Structure 1
Amino acid sequence: MMITQVKGSRGVLKLPVSRLAVLILAVAILCAGTAFAAAPGNMYNVDIYDGSEITRVSTLKTDAAAVLKQADIEVAENDKLVLDGFTAGQDSIITIYRAAGIEYVDLNGNAESLIYAGTVSDFLAERGITLNEEILSSLPEKTVLKDGMTLKLQNAQHITVSADGNSQQLVMGAGTVADALNRAGITLGENDETNPSLDTELTDGLEISVLRVEYQLRTEQKSIAYSKKSENTNELYKGSSEVVQKGENGVKEVTYKDKIVNGSLESSTVEAENVIKEAVDQITRVGTKSKPVTVAALKNGGAAISELSVPAGLEIENGVPKNYKSIVTGKAAAYTGSRSDKTASGRTVRPGYIAVNPKQFPYGTELWVVSTDGIVYGYCIAADTGGFVKKGKFTVDLFMNTESECRQWGSRDVIIYVL
């Protein structure tokens, strides 16, 4: 605020003063005016309030317009001159409100741009509007309207704010949750939250909760479950298994970050894990070896038909091998031929070189064949093939020395051991 002092029509002195000082000055002037009146023809002081500047005029003039002219202050057509505090011959006050371009928004949201000079209270009074608990203004009533201001009427929003075990009822105009907390004098800590969020627009009946949030770290030891693994082995029969390594649980240290809301645990997140003891896998061997098929009492004393020599490492017990990879069951026919004939794989025919489906038993596969009724064909090698493969009736075709032996064999159920 600036005071300009004019003595008569002469020098000007400008001094900055605070708003409080201006108020005290104005009251003093009015009080002085009521205590005594200047004698006719005596000079008196007039303070002219013009926006943020006060001009003090020492004058003998009795007309307000003449006083303003003496102070070299002009009043435009749309400006407003308030003379309620002016009395000729007494220390007085003249107030000037300058015309300002403002925007006015009514309760229905209708906006209007207009020119007005005066305070918010003056503006509303001229429109017959009275503010109360349910109708609020975006600007205080004593505000002097200036260029660019927006005056907005607002329906009151009844807001409930709950924090720290207490609730407050607020009546506010437009704003956000942050504005409501500010009105309620509530300060948020670094981690505190609100429901709804701070930027939420206020609505009538809105309930706001302040959530006091803190984070705490805690550490616990947790068990690490061991894994179970299986390994296939042909050293055990199918359906059999054995644990070769016992499983043991491990131990880990887990650091949690707990979210405490209003004194209660709301959630936890894992911040770090440290393995103290590794878990030991449990390993189980699972048998893949086929169990021997029951063979009837051996015929011919268990003598083999095959003329091939049994490999030295192959151990035979009761007409069947003790060591083998797998077992195939099926039917076997018999065939014969000249001893000079060649097999499909180029070998000279003889008992022990048998015909197979090469897709099932590749040439060179070592086998052991025995019929379920106790006839041992014995050690043999997949070396030939034939038309029986397409018919699909037989699994293998066994070479015999004579047709008589073939007829004697006929068709028999057999057990084929893959060596």
Structure 2
Amino acid sequence: MKRLTTAALAVLTVLVMVFSLTACGGKAVTLTVHDKDAKTEVEANVGMTVSQVLEKAEIKLGEKDETEPAKDEKIAEDIKEITVKRYAKVTVKLGDESREIEMTGGTVADAIKKSGLNTDGCEPDIDKDKYLEDGMVINMVKGTKVTLTVDGKTNDVATKAKTVEDFLKEQKVTLGADDEVSEKLTAEIKDGMKIVVKRVEYKTEEKTEKIEYKTVEKESDSLEAGKEEVTQEGKDGEKTVTYKVKYVDGKEDSREKVEEKVTKEAVDKVVTRGTKAESSQQEQPQQSQQQEQPQQSQQEQPAGKTVVSKENFPDCDGSGHGYYEIHYSDGSVEYQQY
């Protein structure tokens, strides 16, 4: 009897576990519940209904509220989010006209659109993206007309903003650190104002550039005058130049050189010009001078005696100068410089 009781308890335990798994849906999943601006994460099991998940998350639904997926839909493994759509009855007013709008899960912009009122040039007194609240009254007021150019688009916008900064926030325009605005952010909004936002980005770019070689002239006395020759060929060098480049709306606007580094030196081209005088031109004056000296000495020869011998003694410095030692028939000796 005791053995049967133990077996019965074991079967009962298994049945309870199976029932629990079936009731809980088995595999656990994490879901994110979106309720207007609020987000709630809740642990649930596959097989639970949306209503059961919301009850577990302590989120209450109104009689006309809706959900996506639907309230009675069961949670599957591929479902990650639940959206709560709150019912709201609101009034949209434009001057003497008004419309009552009933919506589930809408925003102020949705209600204005559904009202069918001609709201051109008007703005609501409540943020367009705000979720509707039951009993809300939306007043449409005439806005200031502004032309906005940003991200390649130009639109005429009616606004109730007081400053340029407020207007850009209203239009969901986020400014980057280097972006430029045609008007000061503190400037007062005026009818017909044109506001241009330029997206500015700075990038650092490197570029390899050529260093052109120079031509250098040199003189050499080992080369005859009037002649020249290339004694060294020139070669271009290279340098890496770093630029800070400004882009406006994706197009290059300017660039500034911030660093320059030579990676290969240029080699100068050397042209040598000759300065050496021709040998025949050097010897000719010496020969003519030597020829003239005897003539001069013969002309200056004293009367009554003759030249017995004439010996040349040139200077040792190679200047072409020196002296003659002249012996006459009367035994006298004379020295003549040249």
TM-score after normalising by structure 1: 0.32
TM-score, scaled relative to structure 2: 0.39
